[in-house]
Every structure is written in structure tokens, then in C-alpha cells.
């Protein structure tokens, strides 16, 4: 009788352990998906940055560069040394403001402008998807069986990068 109780206890303990590992794996999968989305976002930031030289060169060919042009060149150069999400967002806002203020309309400029605006729209959608994925992870982490696993394995709330 005592042996059966011990075996039952060991079986329940093993099932609990396997269940916790399964829950942990699900939370890790959510985090990996979030990291994948952030990686795609960073690649799109880089694509947008790579469109900027075409834009800047098209302006320089047709007119004397303005102070806004020089500031954009300087700000773009900083990304070759470091890249942070807040800096990317500030640069994107500055870039879109520059596009709206510039009255130049050459073929190269319009092509670069279209590419940058399309990438900026794509980046905005991806940021929204990342925010939704973060909210989903945080909500899942707080739901009942996952809350046990997140407490045991020290999963923290994710924040916007």
C-alpha cells in the first residue's frame, strides 16, 4: 500500500515536471516569435537606411544641398556605428519630414521617396504586430498554467523594444 502511494506520488511529480517543461517551451516559442519579428523589423530599418543615399544623391545632383540635407547625411552616418530602435524611429520621422518639405521632383528622387514611404508603412505595421505579440505574450504569461511556469522559470513581462 505504501509502495503504491510512493509510486503514485512519483508519477504525479513526473507529470508535473513534464507539464512545467511543456509550458516553458510554449513560452519560449512565443519569445522566439517575438525575436523573429524584431529581426525582420531591424532588416526593414536597414533597407530604409539603404534607400537614403539614392534620395540624397538625387537631390545633390539637381540643387545645392540644404542644411536639412546635411543633417540627414550626418544622422544616417551614425547608424553605421550603432543602431537602436529609438534612434531609428527618430531618423524615420526626420526622413519623412524631409520628404514632405522637399519640393524637388526628379525621377530618382520620386523613386527613392516611394521606396522609403513603402518601407516606412511596412515598418509601422511591423511595429504594431510586435506590440500585439508583446501584449499576447504578457497576457499568456499571466494566465493560469503559464503563470506557474513563468514564476518557476523567471519569465518577465516583455516591453516594447
Residue 157, in any domain of the structure = no
> Which whole number is the average pLDDT over 104-119?
84
> Which whole number is the average pLDDT over 37-66?
83
H helices present in 63-156, as ranges:
67-78, 85-101, 107-142, 144-152
pLDDT score at 83: 57
Which is higher by pLDDT, 51 or 76? 51
Percent of the chain with pLDDT over 70: 96
* pLDDT tens digit sequence for 80-108: 555 577 778 888 888 888 888 877 777 88
Residue 159, in any domain of the structure = no
- The CA-atom distances, in angstroms, between 117 and each of 9, 81, 84, 126 are 62, 24, 20, 14
Q: Smallest Cα–Cα separation from 109: which of 51, 59, 48?
A: 59
pLDDT score at 127: 92
Residue 158, in any domain of the structure = no
Supply the pTM of this predicted model: 0.77
Residue 121, in any domain of the structure = yes
Residue 161, in any domain of the structure = no
Q: Name the residue range of residue 62's domain.
A: 2-152
Amino acid at each position: 500500500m505504501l509502495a503504491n502511494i510512493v509510486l503514485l506520488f512519483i508519477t504525479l511529480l513526473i507529470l508535473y515536471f513534464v507539464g512545467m517543461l511543456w509550458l516553458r517551451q510554449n513560452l519560449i516559442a512565443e519569445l522566439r516569435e517575438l525575436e523573429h519579428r524584431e529581426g525582420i523589423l531591424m532588416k526593414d530599418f536597414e533597407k530604409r537606411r539603404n534607400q537614403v543615399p539614392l534620395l540624397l544623391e538625387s537631390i545633390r545632383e539637381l540643387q545645392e544641398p540644404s542644411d536639412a540635407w546635411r543633417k540627414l547625411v550626418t544622422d544616417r552616418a551614425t547608424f553605421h556605428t550603432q543602431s537602436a530602435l529609438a534612434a531609428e524611429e527618430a531618423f524615420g520621422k526626420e526622413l519623412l519630414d524631409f520628404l514632405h518639405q522637399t519640393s524637388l521632383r526628379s525621377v530618382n528622387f520620386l523613386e527613392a521617396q516611394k521606396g522609403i514611404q513603402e518601407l516606412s508603412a511596412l515598418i509601422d505595421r511591423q511595429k504594431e504586430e510586435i506590440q500585439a505579440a508583446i501584449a499576447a505574450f504578457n497576457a499568456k504569461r499571466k494566465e493560469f498554467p503559464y503563470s506557474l511556469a513563468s514564476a518557476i522559470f523567471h519569465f518577465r513581462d516583455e516591453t516594447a523594444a
